[in-house]
Chain A
Amino acid sequence: MPTDAMTERLSTGSAIRFDGISKSFGDIEVLHDVTFDVQGGSIHALLGENGAGKSTLMKVLGGYHAPTRGRVVLDSTPVIFRSSRDAEAQGIVLIHQEFNLAEDLTVAQNIYLGHELGGALLDDAAMRRGALDVLARLEVRLDPGTRVRDLAVPMKQLVEIARALSRDARVLIMDEPTAALTPHETATLFALMRRLREDGVTILYISHKLDEVKAVTNRVTVLRDGEVVATADTAALSTTQMANLMVGRELEAMFPPRNAPGREELLGVDGLDVPGWSRDVSFTLSRGEILGFAGLVGAGRTESIEGLIGLRPHRVRGVRVRGRAVRLRSPADAARAGVVYLSEDRKGKGLHVNLGLRPNLTLMTLEHYARPLLDTRAEDTALTRAAQTFGIRTGRLDVPASSLSGGNQQKLALAKILEVHPEVVILDEPTRGVDVGAKQEIYALVGDLARQGKGVVVISSELPELLGLCHRLLVMHEGHVVGDLDAAGLTEQDVIQYATGLRGRTNGAGRGEHVPA
């Protein structure tokens, strides 16, 4: 059986030495003479802002890129990988940040993709058993016959990890594996990582969540602009020091100071039902207020909002925008009423990554540029202005959105929805996959919006973010609002108790625990 055999072979974790690695794409060198050691059988964190070269370096190790100069030394033997298959043959497996799953195949088929068991005919039964075993090691209860398309995002992440485990990995590269995981799933993953380390597996761990890095890794290497700026024991660095090393300057406070929200109601939602996802969700949002939506993955936060603006079938007793009753049957209705929404799925629903920056920015407000032909010069002016206002950093403005880093893409998406001058801005996971520097900028933008008198709703799985940013938190559990809490003085533990259903109640108005500010 795969599991026993795997454990056997896992007991030989490899030491890795990056020896003067440089990598150029065309004229641009993105890695400069990177040299550091990774001890065998340790968990080694790789930190850096987006664009610092972490992913490129890991792709060199995973056999996806050949280094321009320098070499990778594996257990004191220099190795040259011509492809990711070469690397996998040496036991080096890369878990991609973006999912590389075939959506229409089953979980088991994906886990064994390219390494199918059986001879001329596939041995589906053996692959099913193997998949069950490896999922059990992750403590995931999931039928291996499920189609990946039908899985939620965190489950897909776990399938990715299971796939890597099913290879005989001696070196595991994890690129932001917890970005989509709930705290519980994250804890399970960490326990597994520690077990793998005991078994002698070397793990390279990339994450923006510094507290996680602090919790699970042995050593840390920080990259900035393609160069190593520090390698140290994790215990020797505080999270603040890590963040400062990453951005190369002292970070000011992560969150902007809170303003005092006004009294005028901007948005009122009364009795929103989204069949299959949420029941009787009611809330209000005041001018200048930042309202957080907390809850576990699957609690129905995103779905409620998608229902509210007409993207899903829904029923609602009443919606008021600035006191006027409105019906929102489509995002177009919502935008006209002054309510805009930025999806958590940036590449799938938020931004046209194949299109340029200009068409992305002006997509929702083209009527301002049509006279009747589009005035591209005016659009360019708007883009230049937006790039400045929102701090979108890119060499040139005539590139496709896909060439921007995650943080800059997110700022562009924000700029796009703010072009319509909305009253209410709903942001779903606004800092997912975004580096520390960009996170801080996005927080500052959200603070500015509130100060300008807009109402902001933030849906997030990161509790520190909600607690640091919001005036008030709405906690959802299994489709119901179970708490409407003043953020001041609230702790993560409080929120988790509501989110897991240990506290709060699901009364009709959904505001039983409301404590006025």
Chain B
Amino acid sequence: MRVASLGPLLGLLALMIVATLLNHDFLTVSNLSNVLTRAAFSGIIAVGMTFVIVSGGIDLSVGSMAALIAGSMILIMNALSTALGPGVLTIVLGMLAALVIGGLAGLFHGAVITRGRIEPFIVTLGTLGIYRAVLTYLAQGGAISLDSAVGDRYGPVYYGSMLGIPIPILVFTAVALLGGLILNRTRYGRYVQAIGSNEQVARFAAINVAGVKTMTYVLLGVCVGLATILYVPRLGSATPSTGLLWELEAIAAVIIGGTALRGGSGRIWGTVVGAVLLVTIENVLNLTNIISVYLNAAVTGFVIIGVAFFQRGRR
């Protein structure tokens, strides 16, 4: 493996060294676990996004989709809680609903893109507006809050841990490993790469291009549903600002990780590093006081361009 392909990892390590020098609390277990837990949301979505981008597509709607799923899931669980009580069954059904809604949204994207032959950028730009508007309507502009009895039972999904590791980190790890396995070691993953590399060649090689592409959006939708399942117990509410700009975070994580925006080749571990890197920048800025708060976005921008610079040789 060439050094250039390690760009994002080296960037992350450099950032971590700087962070530790600036504030020794950075390397504490609790801080690192905060960082990784936060990275879990955008990271899980970014793993799904990697498939979409490698296949040559894009999905701009994931942030809005997450907000809509969060709102719908809360409303469903609140309704179930009056019928079934605030038990495990209510929560499991709510989670199931989140995954199903995500999958259906993805299926819709895939169908419109492949059967309707509309650019994915346009389709998902449209649904970006639609999903958030529906959520805003459901919330009447305010917040949709989870019934507190359900919230108390559901809380551990975000705040709990197993073997000392917070659950969101465990789920993120599992999703990343599974994603890497599917992308690199299964027929489906190979087809995704082949389509992104050259759709025509794939079509001529007897691959069901429409099916494989649609499936990438379904996968992403399910990932968004999964991320939302972890997100909802954190604040127990969904507002019109929920998931704002998550799509950019997810896409940035994928690209920083070394996946080509034009598709064809990608790597899940890079995406994971990218997601963690983005969250770490924010964390470092909060832990220190050397740069004016007005310049936070500029620092993030420089780091992103810097990491891209280190791996430019790969093109």
Contact = CB atoms under 8 A, between A and B. Distances in A.
Interface of A: 311, 330-332, 334-335, 340-341, 343, 345, 348-355, 359, 362-364, 366-367, 369-370, 372-374, 376, 416
Nearest to A346: B201
Contacts of B264: 354-355
A373 B181 contact: yes
A335 B206 contact: yes
A506 B277 CA distance: 68
A352 B201 contact: yes
Contact of B187 (A332, A335, A370): A370
Given A363-B194, A366-B190, A372-B186, A311 B206 contact: no
B206 A334 contact: yes
Interface string B193-223: 1100110111111111000000000000000
Given A355-B193, A363-B194, A374 B185 contact: yes
B194 A352 contact: yes
Given A340-B206, A350-B201, A373-B186, 14 more contacts: A330-B208, A349-B201, A350-B204, A352-B198, A354-B197, A354-B265, A355-B193, A355-B194, A363-B190, A366-B187, A367-B187, A373-B181, A374-B187, A376-B185
Contacts of A364: 205-206
A355 B193 CA distance: 9
A349 B186 CA distance: 23
Contacts of A340: 206
A355 B197 contact: yes
Given A354-B197, A354-B264, A355-B193, A363 B207 contact: yes
Contact of B201 (A330, A351, A376): A351
Q: Closest 4 CB pairs between A and B?
A: A331-B206, A366-B187, A335-B206, A332-B206
Contact of A363 (B181, B185, B205): B205
Residue among B181, B206, B264 with the highest chain A CB neighbour number at 10 A: B206
Contacts of A363: 190, 194, 202, 205, 207
A416 B205 contact: yes
Nearest to B187: A366
Contacts of B201: 348-352
B295 to A, nearest CB: 39
Nearest to A369: B187
A334 B206 CA distance: 8
B213 to A, nearest CB: 15
Contacts of B204: 311, 331, 341, 343, 349-350
A355 B204 CA distance: 16
B198 A348 contact: yes
A404 to B, nearest CB: 15
Contacts of B202: 352, 363
Nearest to B185: A373
26 contacts: A311-B204, A331-B203, A331-B205, A334-B206, A335-B206, A340-B206, A343-B204, A348-B198, A349-B200, A349-B201, A352-B198, A354-B197, A355-B193, A359-B190, A359-B194, A362-B190, A363-B190, A363-B205, A366-B187, A367-B187, A369-B187, A372-B186, A373-B181, A373-B185, A374-B187, A376-B185
A449 to B, nearest CB: 19
Given A354-B197, A354-B264, A330 B206 contact: yes
B5 to A, nearest CB: 14
Given A354-B264, A373-B186, A311 B203 contact: yes
A359 B193 contact: yes
Residue among B198, B204, B205 with the highest chain A CB neighbour number at 10 A: B205
Contacts of A352: 194, 197-198, 201-202
A442 to B, nearest CB: 19
A350 B194 CA distance: 12
Contacts of B203: 311, 331, 349
Nearest to A416: B205
Interface in B166-203: 181, 185-187, 190-191, 193-194, 197-198, 200-203
Residue among A341, A352, A366 with the highest chain B CB neighbour number at 10 A: A352
Given A370-B186, A373-B186, A374-B186, A332 B207 contact: yes
A349 B201 CA distance: 4
Contacts of B187: 366-367, 369-370, 374
Contacts of B198: 348-349, 352-354
Contacts of A362: 190
A359 B194 CA distance: 8
Residue among B181, B187, B194, B264 with the highest chain A CB neighbour number at 10 A: B187
